[in-house]
A and B are shown apart, each in its own frame.
Chain A
Amino acid sequence: MADAKFLKFDTQSLHAGQRPDPATGARAVPIHLTTSYVFQDVDHAAALFNLERPGHIYSRISNPTVAVLEERLATLEGGVGAVCTASGQAALTLAIMTLMDAGGHIVASSSIYGGSRNLLAYTLPRFGITTTFVSPRDLDGIRAAIRPETRLVFGEVLGNPGLEVLDVPAVAAIAHDAGVPLLIDSTFTTPYLCQPLKHGADLVMHSCTKWLGGHGVAIGGVIVDGGTFDWEASGKFPTLTEPYAGYHGIDFAEEYGPSAFVMRARAEGLRDFGACLSPMNAFQILQGVETLPLRMKGHIHNARKVVGFLETELASEKGSVAWVSYPELVDHPDHALAARLLPKGAGSMIAFGIRGHGSGGGREAGRRFIEALTLFSHLANVGDAKSLVIHPASTTHAQLDAAALAASGVGEDMIRMSIGLEDCDDLIDDLKQALRAATKG
């Protein structure tokens, strides 16, 4: 019997979610810059509003260009559907708002993007949703932090900025034992390196702004529904299992089965909270997704070369590198886990510390290092095709006090680099001269 054939990842990166435009024959995804869509007649309008027919009504809720990106990302992640949002932060917020009400509780990895931490630690408590942060390596701690009112476990495949690797299958099992879903922020890994749904996660989110776009020109986010979580069996998610008076009394689990979450997130979340993605941004992100496999191979190649250089510096007695963190290194605490979950490569984020000489220690050396770089760009972003660098303790994680900094794995001497697609020899030359400049005083 012939095997079932499915399009492969590289092909899906180019094609998923799109057919040549039936009206014009356009091969590229058209940019549908329109707020709204003309109904064929009164019955067609009523059928669209009542979810009897598929289609678009108003671009806050759905848009044909955005829909291509949503279907493409859902396909690449292996999810039943996706909702794109104005940013990665909007995706996280949308997921939380879809799952819980005031009184809800989240268990989150303590090593996450600073913006996500701000949302969970400071902003959501104002709306009655609280979070307990636990080290991503403390599986017993994650289990112990789950309460009766917990509605979500949240973490990143690669911690930010400490590059801890989350044991996604183990954390998924812990979450499922408690009847709650696992949401993974997979921004650092992209579906090319890791598909968290295959490892037991139920929901996946990305800041599309990063590697998915790759060009650093468009902000966007996405939440992908794996369709795996049994909301009915859990009994903790009335937003998905009870009639919703705000949308024709729909019981989303009954009506849409595996697609309940993503349908509710769109029908309520985009409609009411309104953090939709612009079609122009969707088009720009789609241009990046088309080359995602090629770019990720380049990112991994360059990251490994730069890590090799830093390792050489680290080994040198007069070297200026105090430590290097990259999950593929054998001395990384999660080396074995990274090999299991990230066989194609452990991403292109590298963290290292500069050995301080003289006054100011590592922090001052770090400042001089960043200011001496010429090819690396000093900015608050990652995942660009261009190499980027930042000092987390004074920027992305500046809101954290010393204890929270330590819990997040952020040392004052930490330099975080996002390795781009330049010739790696040029990157290493830039690093060499900046390290010299940073330590010669």
Chain B
Amino acid sequence: MELTVNGHSVFAHTGGRSFDPARPAVVLIHGAGMDHTVWSLQSRFLAHHGRSVLAVDLPGHGRSGGEALGGIAELADWLPALLDAAGVSKAALVGHSMGALVALDAAARHADRVESVALLGVAERMPVHPDLLAAASAGEPSAVELVIGWGHGPRGHTGGNPTPGLALIPGSRRLMGSVTPGVLGVDLAACNAYVQGSEAAERLSCPSLFLLGALDRMTPAKAGRSLASRVKSSQVVTIPAVGHMVMTEAPDATIDALTPFLGLRRG
């Protein structure tokens, strides 16, 4: 689905069903240097369980035009414009990593547009090592290697992918390698600079789900639980043996957690 947001073309995958603004909407927000394809299973599941899905490519990513936006708050402010373009007044937000910060910030500052938030691989702060920031900004392949190396837990590194025949690490390498050089640097800099996570969590008024990988080395589960403790009402699900790439390392567990949280039923 092609939309125009703030004058730029934006692509959103709709999970194999036409987007119907009359149905409850879910926006899936990918992490740094990625695109909508990280949600391929979840977007189809949501779309066939009563939701209208926007698995969006953020500006400058995937099939969307424009420049990558340089801050979490800027991305959070972009989301209401996306909902306007889609003809939706309110949506559930599901975000991963950088996308989780965007969802968190949007839910805190645009509460009237957000039904609920599910935050995957999230922490109050996501500091990025200066060497990684520099490599990512320069578009060096080593930056992708560092992100996917640290980002995957043992299931990613050793394998046993529940989707038959697919290899997670090479898949992530190709996906991030196809991003416009420098975009990963913009994304990581946005994560690094964001310091309002704690404040945003305390302002959350909508239902929230924290979906954490027990072996996450980028946003450790302990940090995710700490952030969740600042929210008035939150659910925390920690998935064993999983790293930072929660939705690709554990697609079933992700769906199993989202199903009761969003009240999903086939239809």
Residue of A nearest to B155 (CB): A19
Among B131, B165, B171, the residue within 8 A (CB) of A83 is B165
Among A6, A15, A230, the residue within 8 A (CB) of B149 is A6
Contact across chains for A18 and B40 when beta carbons are under 8 A apart: no
B45 to chain A, nearest CB (A): 4
Contact across chains for B164 and A5 when beta carbons are under 8 A apart: no
Contact across chains for B166 and A259 when beta carbons are under 8 A apart: yes
Contact across chains for A52 and B44 when beta carbons are under 8 A apart: yes
Residue of B nearest to A62 (CB): B164
Q: Interface centre among A7, A47, A68, A258, by most B CB within 10 Å? A: A258
Do A255 and B40 contact each other (CB < 8 Å), given the known contacts A75-B169, A262-B166?
Answer: yes
List residues 108-162 of chain B with CB under 8 A from any CB of chain A: 129, 131-132, 142, 145-146, 148-150, 155, 157-162
B128 to chain A, nearest CB (A): 10
A153 within 8 A of B: no
Taking CB atoms, residues of chain B closer than 8 Å to A17 are 159-161, 167
Contact across chains for B159 and A72 when beta carbons are under 8 A apart: yes
Contact across chains for A4 and B150 when beta carbons are under 8 A apart: yes
Contact across chains for B40 and A47 when beta carbons are under 8 A apart: no
0/1 string, B15-44, CB within 8 A of A gives 1: 010000000000000000001010011001
Interface of B is mostly: helix
Among B13, B142, B164, the residue within 8 A (CB) of A70 is B164
A114 within 8 A of B: no
List residues 162-208 of chain A with CB under 8 A from any CB of chain B: none
A403 within 8 A of B: no
Taking CB atoms, residues of chain A closer than 8 Å to B48 are 46-47, 50, 52
Taking CB atoms, residues of chain B closer than 8 Å to A16 are 158-159, 167
B163 within 8 A of A: yes
Taking CB atoms, residues of chain B closer than 8 Å to A6 are 145, 149, 157, 169
List residues 142-199 of chain B with CB under 8 A from any CB of chain A: 142, 145-146, 148-150, 155, 157-167, 169-171, 174-175, 178
Contact across chains for A80 and B16 when beta carbons are under 8 A apart: no
Taking CB atoms, residues of chain A closer than 8 Å to B171 are 80-81, 227, 258-259
Contact across chains for A18 and B167 when beta carbons are under 8 A apart: no
A79 within 8 A of B: yes
Taking CB atoms, residues of chain B closer than 8 Å to A238 are none
A246 within 8 A of B: no
Contact across chains for B40 and A227 when beta carbons are under 8 A apart: no
Contact across chains for A52 and B170 when beta carbons are under 8 A apart: no
Instruction: Please report the total number of A residues contacting B with Cβ < 8 Å.
Output: 54
List residues 231-275 of chain A with CB under 8 A from any CB of chain B: 248-250, 254-259, 262, 266
Contact across chains for B37 and A257 when beta carbons are under 8 A apart: yes
A228 within 8 A of B: yes
Do A256 and B37 contact each other (CB < 8 Å), given the known contacts A51-B44, A52-B45?
Answer: yes
Residue of A nearest to B134 (CB): A1
Do A56 and B164 contact each other (CB < 8 Å), given the known contacts A15-B159, A19-B158, A46-B266?
Answer: yes
List residues 289-313 of chain A with CB under 8 A from any CB of chain B: none
Among B16, B159, B163, the residue within 8 A (CB) of A75 is B159
Contact across chains for B129 and A1 when beta carbons are under 8 A apart: yes
Per the bound structure, the CA–CA distance linking A52 and B53 in Å amounts to 13
0/1 string, B233-259, CB within 8 A of A gives 1: 000000000000000000110010000
Per the bound structure, the CA–CA distance linking A239 and B39 in Å amounts to 22
Per the bound structure, the CA–CA distance linking A5 and B146 in Å amounts to 8
A204 to chain B, nearest CB (A): 12
Residue of A nearest to B157 (CB): A7
Contact across chains for A4 and B148 when beta carbons are under 8 A apart: yes
Among B35, B41, B266, the residue within 8 A (CB) of A257 is B35
Do A18 and B175 contact each other (CB < 8 Å), given the known contacts A4-B150, A79-B170, A82-B165?
Answer: no
Binding site for B on A (CB under 8 A): 1, 3-7, 15-19, 43, 46-47, 50-56, 62-64, 66-68, 70-72, 74-75, 78-84, 226-228, 230, 248-250, 254-259, 262, 266
Kindly list 14 other residue pairs between chains A and B, CB separation below 8 angstroms, not including A18-B158, A70-B164, A71-B159. A1-B132, A18-B159, A46-B48, A50-B16, A62-B164, A72-B159, A74-B167, A80-B167, A81-B166, A230-B178, A248-B16, A257-B62, A258-B174, A259-B171
A-B pairs, 9 with minimum CB distance: A4-B149, A257-B37, A62-B164, A227-B174, A258-B174, A52-B45, A54-B162, A70-B165, A54-B163
- 19 contacting pairs across A/B (C-beta < 8 A): A1-B132, A1-B146, A3-B146, A4-B145, A16-B159, A52-B44, A56-B164, A68-B159, A71-B165, A71-B166, A78-B170, A80-B170, A80-B171, A84-B165, A230-B178, A254-B63, A257-B178, A258-B37, A259-B171
